[in-house]
Amino acid sequence: MNLDSKIYIAGHNGMVGSAIWRALTAKGYTNLIGVSSAELDLRHQQAVKDFISTENPEVIIDAAARVGGILANSNYPYQFIMENLQIQNNLIDSALQAGVAKFIFLGSSCIYPKLAPQPLKEDYLLTGELEPTNEWYAIAKITGVKACQAIRKQFNKDYVSLMPTNLYGIHDNFDLNSSHVLPAVMRKFHEAKENNNAPVTLWGSGTPMREFLFVDDMAQAVVFALENTLPDYLYNIGTGEDLTIKELAETIQKITGHQGEIIWDATKPDGTPRKLMDISKMHALGWKHQVTLEEGIQKTYDWFLDNIHRFKEVKM
């Protein structure tokens, strides 16, 4: 890969896409392409095909997706399966038809069965039932993984899938109606602190265990995949370490400075009991995360405070 290689980052304005853009720019890559959803609707097949054939990138990094937490997945199951299928299938097929040499597909650890053995190995894909609260998104992402695997098998192209654990960080989504657990909890604690340290109610029992990866570490994994030919079609990306949601909440509470009570609403769903990634395959190749959880949460909270005006419109 040359520093002037033409690289299209789909979803470059999102949390993951913007982190990848920052990482590549920092390494000296000079020919990055990104278009907004207003300029190119990735759900429209012909528009995507025309764009890819015209731009003719050497590499496509698919960081575009409709994403959200338990609430969003539960309320909009059709949009989560259909829009993600449309986005990724249009990109993957257009890349193949245009002769794009390398494709990096980003998914999620939710592709693995709900009750799979821990930590989650890549081999556990399609060995059991999915977590019902996000199966729509998971099925779409599994389809993307299999499409890229099929292209590797049939056309011998360097199309690889990276499955990150729970991501968080700069440019995260803090909308309480659609965000994931870490930014949602961070916002709740911050606003409660501003409201005389009011009590904070959190979903579930606090006992499920989760793994979290700072988004800039994910971006470095993408750079690693870009600059190397990975021998397999699927790789987990994570820290290999997890903690309970209760421990996560207490860590965020400390960093935000909230000093009120935490109330756990056990009537709300917990989701998967545990979801820890086996990252030995990527470690064996030479990639490892660098940012600790506390360091990453502090960086995220600092960014939240600097950009708090963006979130004032969306109330709790």
* Gap between the Cα atoms of 185 and 207, Å rounded: 15
* Residue spans of beta strands (DSSP E) within 119-273: 158-164, 166-168, 200-203, 209-210, 212-214, 234-237, 243-244, 262-265
Domain with 285 in it: what CATH number? 3.40.50.720
Residues 6+ apart with CB under 8 A from 61: 7, 8, 9, 10, 17, 20, 103, 104, 106, 222, 226
Q: What is the pLDDT of residue 313?
A: 53
Residue 194 lies in a domain: no
Residue 91 lies in a domain: yes
Q: What is the pLDDT of residues 100-126, one digit of tens each?
A: 999 999 999 999 998 899 999 999 999
Residue 307 lies in a domain: no
pLDDT at 23 over 70: yes
Q: Which structural domain, as residue segments, surrounds residue 100?
A: 7-172+212-241+275-291
Q: What is the pLDDT of residue 312?
A: 65
CB 211 within 8 A of CB 165: yes
Q: What is the pLDDT of residue 316?
A: 41
Phi-psi category of 206—alpha, beta or left, where left has phi over 0 and alpha has psi -120 to 50? left
pLDDT at 134 over 60: yes
* Gap between the Cα atoms of 303 and 204, Å rounded: 27
State CA 249 to chain mean position distance: 20
* Gap between the Cα atoms of 252 and 234, Å rounded: 32
Please give the average per-residue pLDDT across 120-148, as a whole number.
95
- Structure pTM? 0.92
Q: What is the pLDDT of residue 188?
A: 96
The strand order across the sheet containing 7-10 reads 32-33, 7-10, 59-62, 102-106, 158-164, 234-237
Q: Please state the residue numbers annotated as binding site for NADP(+).
A: 11-17, 106-109, 141, 164-167, 180
Q: Please state the residue numbers annotated as binding site.
A: 11-17, 106-109, 141, 164-167, 180, 188, 203, 210, 270
Residue 190 lies in a domain: no
Residue 205 lies in a domain: no
Q: What is the pLDDT of residue 315?
A: 47
* Gap between the Cα atoms of 65 and 87, Å rounded: 7
Residue 247 lies in a domain: no
Residue 202 lies in a domain: no
Q: Within the chain, what is the greatest distance between any pair of CA atoms?
A: 61
Pairing type for strands 234-237 and 200-203 reads: unpaired
Q: Please state the residue numbers annotated as binding site for substrate.
A: 188, 203, 210, 270
The per-residue pLDDT of the chain, averaged, comes to: 94
* Gap between the Cα atoms of 134 and 70, Å rounded: 7
Q: What is the pLDDT of residue 195?
A: 96
Please give the average per-residue pLDDT across 124-153, as a whole number.
95
The token pair that represents 206 in the structure block: 């606090």
Let me know if 46 is exposed, middle or buried by CB neighbors in 10 A (0-12, 13-18, 19+): exposed
61: enclosing H helix or E strand: strand 59-62
Residue 119 lies in a domain: yes
pLDDT at 314 over 60: no
Please give the average per-residue pLDDT across 251-275, as a whole number.
92
Please give the average per-residue pLDDT across 245-273, as a whole number.
94
What is the total count of domains within the chain?
1
Q: Which residues carry out catalysis?
A: 137
Please give the average per-residue pLDDT across 11-32, as a whole number.
97
pLDDT at 71 over 60: yes
Q: What is the pLDDT of residue 142?
A: 98
| Low-confidence winner among 2-11, 64-73, 139-148, 277-286 (lowest mean pLDDT) | 64-73
pLDDT at 310 over 50: yes
Phi-psi category of 296—alpha, beta or left, where left has phi over 0 and alpha has psi -120 to 50? alpha
Phi-psi category of 286—alpha, beta or left, where left has phi over 0 and alpha has psi -120 to 50? left
Q: Which residues pair with 203 in a beta bridge?
A: 265
Distances (CA, A) of 102 to 79, 138, 161: 28, 23, 11
